């Protein structure tokens, strides 16, 4: 592999990582904001949003690695709804598993049992964890839908359509 190809690949992977991490950070930050509103907390928690950023970076790296291992790619030739939903389901399960492992590891470090460790994660109940997984699943659908459209339409096509002005002369009005 030549130096330029390696440089392009590194740039592409770093860009993808930043996009994933930013998307997750926005989602996690909104979860924190929603939770604070429900609990009627008046104070903005910089620590909670900093932890959300750290989690987004860590889970973004996990997602990037899972993509490198082609997680969910077996449905790539099916209609786009299938790979979108499959990847959303697989990645939400993966992220939930890593959140549970993270909570367990931190709990073990603090001398807590497994049940005590995951008590802070979605209330510590299986219903809370399933709800967290479902929230992740639904929030990942647009992310993977965009990625699947990009894969089919060609790299950069959607970014051009969404973020660049269109030529009014090329309007498709009847």
For tokens 């993270």, name the residue: 102
Q: What is the mean pLDDT of residues 8-29?
A: 93
What residues does each domain of the chain span?
A: 1-60, 70-162
Least confident interval from 125-134, 152-161, 162-171: 162-171
User: What's the chain's average pLDDT?
Assistant: 88
Least confident interval from 35-39, 67-71, 98-102: 35-39
At 82-128, the pLDDT tens digits run: 999 999 999 999 999 998 898 888 888 888 888 888 887 777 788 98
What pTM value is reported for the model?
0.82
At 138-151, the pLDDT tens digits run: 999 999 999 999 99
Which tokens in the block code for residue 167?
């030529």
pLDDT over 90 (residue 58): yes
The half-sphere exposure of 85 on its side-chain side, counting CA atoms within 13 A, is 5
pLDDT over 80 (residue 174): no
Give me the long-range contacts of 131-137 (CB less than 8 A, separation at least 24). Answer: 132/96, 132/99, 133/92, 133/93, 133/96, 134/92, 135/31, 136/91, 136/92, 136/95, 136/96, 137/88, 137/89, 137/92
């Amino acid at each position: 592999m030549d130096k330029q190809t390696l440089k392009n690949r590194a740039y592409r992977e770093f860009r993808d990582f930043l996009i994933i991490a930013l998307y997750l950070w926005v989602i996690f930050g909104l979860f924190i904001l929603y939770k604070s509103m429900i609990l009627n907390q008046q104070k903005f928690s910089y620590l909670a949003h900093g932890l959300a950023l750290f989690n987004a970076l860590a889970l973004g790296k996990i997602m990037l690695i899972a993509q490198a291992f082609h997680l969910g790619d077996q449905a790539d030739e099916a209609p786009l709804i299938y790979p979108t939903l499959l990847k959303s389901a697989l990645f939400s399960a993966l992220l939930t598993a890593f959140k549970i492992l993270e909570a367990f590891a931190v709990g073990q470090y603090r001398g807590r049992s497994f049940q005590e460790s995951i008590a802070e994660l979605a209330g510590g109940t299986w219903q809370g964890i399933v709800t967290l997984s479902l929230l992740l699943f639904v929030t990942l659908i647009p992310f993977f839908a965009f990625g699947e459209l990009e894969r089919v339409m060609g790299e950069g096509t959607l970014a051009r359509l969404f973020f660049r002005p269109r030529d009014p002369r090329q309007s498709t009005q009847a």
